[in-house]
Amino acid sequence: KRKMASGQQWVLVEMVQAFYEAPAYHLILEGILILWIIRLLFSKTYKLHETYKLTEKEKEDLIEEWQPEPLVPFVSKDHPSLNYDVVTGPPSHNIVINGKECINFASFNFLGLLDNERVKQKALASLKKYGVGTCGPRGFYGTFDVHLELESRLAKFMKTEEAIIYSYGFATIASAIPAYSKRGDIIFVDEAACFSIQKGLQASRSLIKYFKHNDMEDLERLLKEQDMEDHKNPRKARVTRKFIVVEGLYINTADICPLPELVKLKYKYKVRIFLEESMSFGVLGEHGRGVTEHFGISIDEIDLISANMENAVASIGGFCCGRSFVIDHQRLSGQGYCFSASLPPMLAAAAIEALNIMEEDPGIFDLLSEKFHLHYDLYMMIIYHLHYTIILVGVPFAPALHLQLERSSGSRDSDVQLLRALVDYCLERHVALTLAHYLEKEERFLPPPSIRVVVTIEQTEEDIQKAVSCIQEAASAILK
């Protein structure tokens, strides 16, 4: 105890001695720090501001003066999207728009099945048997026998193991992409990909790498760069899935994907191909099976094919087809399949009958192809006579071509107004055309304004000649 007491005294003596020996500036600095610490410990962390009590009148005045921020930006009542051309009756070969009967060059009714009597009778019989809708997703009493029959027929028609149907065409590819590609995976996609593909890419949260439209050299450049990265980090590469997403016939450019080159790149760089065929299904190929049949490529070379049934089949919804283990995964992970009410049975019955017609009469695809080429040739002639003030965009076998201004008038709005004037001119003369519409602020690569001209099997040579002459007159009158 005595030793401990003496030790403590010795430490205290040393501290006092050090205090006297320390420089004055050192003592001043330490004193200031000690005082600052004491102030922080005992001072309040906030100050009470003086409050002013408002009178009732002042409160009412402030409330009356307050203006909330607008929920959405201002849009003029004259905006084209807010002023509809109203259709009465079926949008078949002849369409009644705003009370005026016109030849239809606007609807994607490629095979003329929308108003087909056989299709309507099957839909009517189904309506009487099942009712109007389903009121439930496929997993919650929304699976009807007619849905299973349609899936089986689609798989058989496309020569694949299995097919899955969706009740909304847009949601088909938008649901399929995120069902397979997740965060950390890589998707190589064409810049001209349609909006439904863009939404699927966004939902997947994958790394997106865009290549120039139909530019296989640019795609291979991206694939080579990724291959080099994979060699640097093989552990990460083993768990990273890679996809190429393209359209068979591009709706925004009316041209075809170079599928043979894509298949070569698929095996060279070990990637998967997703093919969106909404514009080519029921249009291209000897039997209407799409781009694979058009190029003579086995459908087994493609990992997933999707298409909607709202064009050539003239129904509603969409489908994906491929190998069974690939398709079954969507039944658990395809959001549009799992959470949307299933396709109304009458529309499934209509689609089955449309497939029956396509299988019974494959000659309709040759006839349709002849119409495409006639249409294309006539438009090329009027473009020459118009001194290329407008240009034709698309391939000769595309069902929907684009007419664009050769030179912009200065702004996108003014270009749209000029093209709208052309459409209105033709509409007054009983030819129904349509502008290609886009969500301008949402599109990843916004296409230029255009008039979309659709060819169907029901249009006669005289109808096509009339439309071509009408467009030529409109362009001569408006694009001076």
| pLDDT tens per residue across span 91-144 | 888 999 988 999 999 999 999 999 999 999 999 999 999 999 999 998 889 999
Asked if 144 and 240 sit in the same domain, the reply is yes
In this model, does residue 7 exceed pLDDT 70? no
State the chain's mean pLDDT as an integer.
90
Asked if 103 and 230 sit in the same domain, the reply is no
Residue type at position 10: W
What is the distance between the alpha carbons of residues 143 and 244, in angstroms, rounded to a whole number? Answer: 32
| pLDDT tens per residue across span 223-264 | 999 999 999 998 898 889 999 999 999 999 999 999 999 999
Residues paired with residue 392 on neighbouring β-strands, in sequence order: 403
Residue 30: inside a domain: no
CB 319 within 8 A of CB 117: no
CB 259 within 8 A of CB 291: yes
Q: What domain count does the chain have?
A: 2
Residue 298: inside a domain: yes
Question: Tokens standing for 242?
Answer: 């890679």
User: Distances in Å between the alpha carbon of 30 and those of 23, 24, 171?
Assistant: 11, 10, 70
Domain enclosing residue 372, as ranges: 80-113+363-479
Higher-confidence residue: 16 or 73? 73
| pLDDT tens per residue across span 199-219 | 999 999 999 999 999 999 999
Give the sheet arrangement for strand 304-308, strand by strand: 162-166, 318-322, 304-308, 272-276, 242-247, 186-190, 207-211
Ranges of beta strands (E only) in 122-281 are: 162-166, 186-190, 207-211, 242-247, 272-276
Asked if 354 and 377 sit in the same domain, the reply is no
Asked if 123 and 272 sit in the same domain, the reply is yes
What is the distance between the alpha carbons of residues 461 and 371, in angstroms, rounded to a whole number? Answer: 8
Residue where the block lists tokens 């949008």? 91
Residue 2: inside a domain: no
| pLDDT tens per residue across span 324-333 | 999 999 998 9
| % of the chain beyond a pLDDT of 70 | 93
Which is it for strands 451-454 and 100-104: parallel, antiparallel or unpaired?
unpaired
Last residue of a domain, one of 326, 360, 394: 360
Residue 170, pLDDT score: 93
Q: What is the pTM of this model?
A: 0.83
Residue where the block lists tokens 């002459």? 469
Average the pLDDT over each of 1-5, 71-75, 454-458, 461-465 and give the range with the smallest value: 1-5
Last residue of a domain, one of 302, 330, 360: 360
| pLDDT tens per residue across span 155-173 | 999 999 999 999 999 999 9
Helix 117-130 to helix 345-360 angle (10° resolution) is 150
Asked if 299 and 399 sit in the same domain, the reply is no
Residue 19, pLDDT score: 63
Residue 44, pLDDT score: 62
Asked if 355 and 377 sit in the same domain, the reply is no
| pLDDT tens per residue across span 335-361 | 999 999 999 999 999 999 999 999 999
In this model, does residue 34 exceed pLDDT 90? no
* Stretch 22-49: mean pLDDT: 74
Residue 380: inside a domain: yes
In this model, does residue 367 exceed pLDDT 80? yes
Asked if 198 and 326 sit in the same domain, the reply is yes
Run of H or E including 88: strand 87-88
Asked if 280 and 397 sit in the same domain, the reply is no
Residue 407, pLDDT score: 87
Asked if 104 and 167 sit in the same domain, the reply is no
In this model, does residue 15 exceed pLDDT 90? no
What is the distance between the alpha carbons of residues 170 and 197, in angstroms, rounded to a whole number? Answer: 9
Asked if 183 and 329 sit in the same domain, the reply is yes
Residue 12, pLDDT score: 63
How many other CB atoms sit within 10 Å of the CB of residue 340?
20
In this model, does residue 423 exceed pLDDT 70? yes
Asked if 414 and 347 sit in the same domain, the reply is no
Residue 46, pLDDT score: 57
Residue 70, pLDDT score: 85
Last residue of a domain, one of 360, 383, 410: 360
Residue 20: inside a domain: no
How many other CB atoms sit within 10 Å of the CB of residue 466?
18
Pick from 474, 391, 390, 461: which is nearest to 430 by CA? Answer: 474
Residue 50, pLDDT score: 60
Q: 169: domain CATH number? A: 3.40.640.10
Residue 27, pLDDT score: 72
Residue 76, pLDDT score: 80
